[in-house]
Amino acid sequence: MQFVAATALTLLVFVALANLVVDLYARGVVRAAIDEGARAGAPVDSTAADCEQRAHDVLDNLLGGRVGRDVRVECHDEQGRMTAGAVVVLRGWIPGVVPDWAFGLVGSSTKERDP
């Protein structure tokens, strides 16, 4: 009985650590996506829609499936800056044992100007 309990506890710890590694990867992907989106919206003729499209392209390529569905990206063109923001909720793999992780990230880039 002790062996079964110890094995179960070890597997729970292993799954929690694997979940942490995947969540850290997802955070890096979201950071890269909003940075890419902000850069895509920086040229003179670009719009906030271009920024959002580029961010979603990066997310689709690097973070698909269930994890990618809980990422919301918005871009705004304000006072000569393209700002991309993301709100993320990463669900824990074992409800009640591994908590959800929610966070927001913001990236911005200076818009180009016509000479």
pLDDT (tens digit per residue) in 63-77: 988 888 889 999 999
Q: Let me know if residue 48 belongs to a domain.
A: yes
Global pTM?
Answer: 0.87
What residue numbers bound the domain in which 79 lies? 2-110
Q: Which residues pair with 109 in a beta bridge?
A: 82
Average pLDDT over residues 85-97: 92
- Over 80: is that where the pLDDT of 108 sits? yes
Measuring CA to CA, how many Å separate 9 from each of 12, 36, 98? 5, 41, 13
Strand boundaries in 12-100, DSSP class E: 71-78, 81-90
Q: Let me know if residue 97 belongs to a domain.
A: yes
Q: Which residue has the tokens 């890419």?
A: 36
Q: Let me know if residue 115 belongs to a domain.
A: no
Q: What is the pLDDT of residue 3?
A: 93
